[in-house]
């Protein structure tokens, strides 16, 4: 076997998503084709060759729909049209066609918990007044005197109720520009079934379901109080807002729509909170098929944390029979190399939660650990979700000035939570030039002056670069990945993550401070060069026993 052979051209269609590598494109920050400083769909199309060469199976496009951008596009004003800033429907069709020509599938985001306040339904609700049918599509309630109807809180800080001119309040789990929909309403349910068909008819291969666990709420009067909202505690179905059993009926209906197509459309649920067995219910074959497992994002650079998280996810996922997924980075999290260079005692999301005083990290250490973690994730069974720029080894941009911050959490938290802009800085494509090739008109978030050295141009063909490691690993993974979900743990000592897959493929990660000996007949790839059979610290290798 030659480890770096090109992948076979055709991939099986049935259940393609089970072991797919999906690459998240945050369109505003990927590439800007028209020089307005904001990335767009045409920019994605221009760079499909990069994604093809990388060896991904699918692109997940974060929202590109009509949006006033109160929350980076997750405030959708029209679920069936492209925002003019990002392109047109014809341009979207061209992107799908060109991606498919390269055997790259397209997943789009479905944001169904809320709409933008500019959505015609919400405008109607405001105009129609209290008690109207238009208001019933959202969650309008009378307050308790001058106080909001309940103690529900917004994810972005502050209360989850906003008062309107006639004195009623509406519920918003995110910004006040994102009113929550009433999922007890038939018209709301039908609208999203039609929206799924709209995109599936255009050739979309799958859907990423935003806030999948919040659609159905306990809205019975009197509204129940919300227990402490702690993103670090798993859900148990008792919260009035999150993970209600009734939400699964919605996804059974969605599955029936997905199965109208050949091949059936795929879907992945986003649910925040640590993964537990309930999380995987969303991934049942009768529902969405996949749910994001964010367990790896909760781990510091610590062998025991990673092994415990992986074991738990493997156990939890067996209960539901759906697909397994892994995520290290996304548009909502601190980029994983930076996160993993933090001391073990620091919360992994410390930067998001801080007011901007980022802890110091060593960029070399971050780069080493980031790559090692990637090799570990890619060796696990199931599907892996990558986030744009991680192939370049980009670090979190930690020093954005308050005037550059766009994330609504900054304002809503009274300038105490910096938010997610640090992982959304536009990509560098070239060593030099305006915005390092992102676009001719600069970039909507400032890029670090050093980013030319991380660009695609600077890393292409460079042995030992992050980009070439990702390319090699992804191509190799296509040949090695097996359907078997078992992981056989190897005891290789304190601080060493070591597991073997059914076909003899092994992954060993050195989380100690010393080099460790790798006993294998064949080293397929490593994140740092081995020296005399020794794997350096903060490094990972794939080996084969055969």
Taking the C-alpha atoms of residue 236 and residue 387, their distance in angstroms, rounded to an integer, is: 29
Question: Contact 207/267 with Cβ under 8 angstroms?
Answer: yes
State the sign of the Cα–Cα–Cα–Cα dihedral 155, 159, 164, 169: positive
- Asked if 169 is part of the footprint of ligand NOJ (rule: CB under 6 A), the reply reads no
Pick between residue 270 and residue 287 the one whose CB is nearest to ligand NOJ. 270
- 56 HSE (CA, 13 A, CB side): 27
- The 8-class DSSP code of residue 447 comes to P
Where in 102-141 is the site for ligand NOJ (CB under 6 A)? 111
Integer angstrom CA distances of residue 540 from 370, 511, 525: 10, 9, 8
Q: Between residues 211 and 379, which has the closer beta carbon with respect to ligand NOJ?
A: 211
488, exposed or middle or buried, with CB in 10 Å at 0-12, 13-18, 19+? exposed
Told to check if 332 binds ligand NOJ by CB under 6 A, we report yes
What is the nearest approach in angstroms of ligand NOJ to the Cβ of residue 326? 17
Instruction: Pick between residue 109 and residue 538 the one whose CB is nearest to ligand NOJ.
Output: 109
Residue number with CB closer to ligand NOJ (208 or 371): 208
Upper half-sphere CA count for residue 81 (Cβ side, 13 Å): 8
Active site residues: 210, 260
**How many C-beta atoms lie closer than 10 Å to residue 127's C-beta?**
10
Token pair for 370: 């980031």
8-state DSSP, 87 = -
Is residue 74 within the footprint of ligand NOJ (CB under 6 A)?
yes
Min separation Cβ 144 and ligand NOJ, Å: 27
Other beta carbons within 10 angstroms of residue 411's beta carbon come to 16
The Cα–Cα gap between 472 and 529 comes to: 14
Answer for which of 19, 57, 180, 210 binds ligand NOJ (CB under 6 A) is 210
Nearer CB in complex with ligand NOJ: 175/543: 175
Residues 396-425 interacting with ligand NOJ (rule: CB under 6 A): none
Provide the angle, in degrees to the nearest 10, between the axes of the packed helices 466-480 and 363-378.
10
Say if CB 286 and CB 249 are below 8 A apart: no
Tokens of 22: 């999906």
Q: How far is the CB of 413 from ligand NOJ (least distance, A)?
A: 14
Cis peptide before 338 (omega within 30 of 0): no
Site mask for ligand NOJ (CB under 6 A), range 141-160, x = bound: --------------------
Smallest distance from ligand NOJ to CB 467, Å: 25
**Which CB atom, from 116 or from 492, has the smaller least distance to ligand NOJ?**
116
Beta bridge partners of 387: 24
Q: In the bound complex, what is the minimum distance in angstroms from residue 272's beta carbon to ligand NOJ? A: 8
Q: Give me the 274-313 binding string for ligand NOJ, x by CB under 6 A, dash otherwise.
A: ----------------------------------------
Residue 207 half-sphere exposure toward CB, CA atoms < 13 A? 31
Query: Tokens for 498?
Result: 């070591």
Rounded least distance, CB 542 to ligand NOJ, Å: 31
How many residues at the interface with ligand NOJ, by CB under 6 A? 9
CA–CA separation, 349 and 333 (whole Å): 7
**Torsion 110-312-489-336 (CA) sign:** positive
Rule CB under 6 A: which of 468-527 touch ligand NOJ? none
211 lies in the binding site for ligand NOJ (CB under 6 A): yes
CB closer to ligand NOJ, 17 vs 385: 385
Nearer to ligand NOJ, 156 or 169 (CB): 156
Which of 176/331 has CB closer to ligand NOJ? 331
| Selected binder of ligand NOJ within 24, 71, 239, 316 (CB under 6 A) | 71
- Residue whose beta carbon is closest to ligand NOJ: 74
Interatomic CA distance for residues 421 and 403, integer angstroms: 12
Residue 180 makes contact with ligand NOJ by CB under 6 A:
no
Q: Which residue has the tokens 């971050």?
A: 366
Residue (of 240, 322, 324, 312) closest to 283 by Cα position:
322
Cβ at position 230, least distance to ligand NOJ in Å: 17
Q: From CA 121, how far away is CA 472, in angstroms rounded?
A: 48
Task: List the 488-489 sheet strands across, edge first.
Answer: 488-489, 496-500, 505-510, 539-544, 522-526
The secondary structure of residue 193, as a DSSP letter, is H
Radius of gyration of the chain (CA): 23
Closer residue to ligand NOJ (CB): 216 or 541? 216
Minimum Å distance from CB 441 to ligand NOJ? Answer: 25
Pair of tokens at residue 127: 């105009």
Give the helix/strand (H/E) hosting 517. Answer: strand 516-517
**In the complex, which residues of this chain contact ligand NOJ (CB under 6 A)?**
71, 74, 111, 174, 210-211, 270, 331-332
């Amino acid at each position: 076997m030659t480890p770096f052979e090109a992948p076979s051209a055709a991939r099986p269609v049935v259940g393609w998503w089970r072991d797919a590598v999906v690459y998240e494109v945050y369109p505003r920050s990927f590439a800007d084709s028209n020089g307005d400083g904001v990335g767009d769909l045409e920019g994605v199309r221009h760079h499909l060759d990069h994604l093809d060469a990388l060896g991904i199976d699918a692109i997940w496009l974060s929202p590109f729909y009509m949006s006033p951008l109160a929350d980076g596009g997750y405030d959708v004003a029209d679920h069936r049209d492209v925002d003019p800033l990002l392109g047109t429907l014809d341009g979207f069709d061209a992107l799908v066609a060109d991606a498919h020509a390269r055997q790259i599938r397209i997943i789009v985001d479905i944001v169904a918990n809320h709409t933008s306040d500019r959505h015609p339904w919400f405008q109607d609700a405001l105009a129609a007044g209290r008690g109207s049918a238009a208001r019933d599509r959202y969650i309008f309630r009378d307050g308790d005197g001058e106080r909001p109807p309940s103690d529900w809180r917004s994810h972005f800080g502050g209360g989850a109720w906003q008062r309107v001119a006639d004195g009623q309040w509406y519920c918003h789990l995110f910004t006040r520009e994102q009113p929550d929909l009433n999922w007890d309403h038939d018209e709301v349910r039908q609208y999203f079934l039609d929206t799924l068909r709209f995109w599936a008819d255009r050739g979309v291969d799958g859907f990423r379901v935003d806030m999948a666990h919040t659609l159905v709420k306990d809205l019975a009067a009197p509204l129940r109080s919300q227990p402490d909202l702690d993103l670090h505690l798993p859900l148990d179905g008792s919260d009035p807002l999150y993970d209600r059993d009734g939400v699964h009926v919605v996804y059974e209906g969605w599955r029936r729509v997905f199965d109208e197509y050949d091949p059936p459309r795929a879907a992945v649920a986003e649910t925040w909170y640590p993964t537990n067995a309930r999380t995987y219910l969303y991934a049942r074959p009768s529902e969405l098929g996949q749910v994001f497992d964010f367990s790896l994002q909760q781990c510091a650079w610590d062998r025991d944390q990673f092994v415990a998280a992986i074991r738990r996810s493997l156990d939890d996922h067996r209960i539901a029979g759906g697909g397994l997924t892994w995520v290290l980075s996304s548009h909502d999290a601190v980029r994983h190399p930076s996160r993993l260079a933090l001391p073990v005692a620091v919360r992994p999301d410390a930067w998001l939660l801080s007011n901007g005083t980022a802890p110091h990290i060593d960029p070399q250490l971050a780069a080493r650990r980031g790559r090692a973690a990637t090799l570990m994730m890619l060796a696990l069974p199931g599907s892996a979700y990558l986030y744009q720029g991680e192939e370049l080894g980009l670090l979190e941009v930690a020093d954005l000035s308050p005037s550059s911050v766009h994330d609504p959490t900054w304002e809503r938290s009274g300038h105490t939570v910096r938010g997610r802009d640090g992982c959304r800085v536009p990509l560098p494509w070239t060593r030099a030039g305006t915005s390092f090739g992102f676009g001719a008109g600069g970039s909507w978030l400032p890029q670090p002056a050093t980013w030319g050295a991380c660009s695609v141009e600077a890393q292409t063909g460079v042995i030992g670069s992050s980009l070439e490691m990702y390319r090699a690993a992804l191509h190799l993974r296509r040949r090695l990945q097996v359907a078997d979900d078992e992981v056989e743990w190897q005891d290789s000592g304190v601080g060493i993550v070591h597991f073997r897959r059914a076909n003899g493929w092994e992954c060993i990660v050195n989380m100690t401070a010393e080099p460790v000996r790798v006993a294998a007949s064949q080293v397929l790839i490593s994140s740092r060069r081995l020296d005399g059979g020794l794997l350096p610290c903060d490094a990972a290798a794939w080996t084969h026993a055969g």
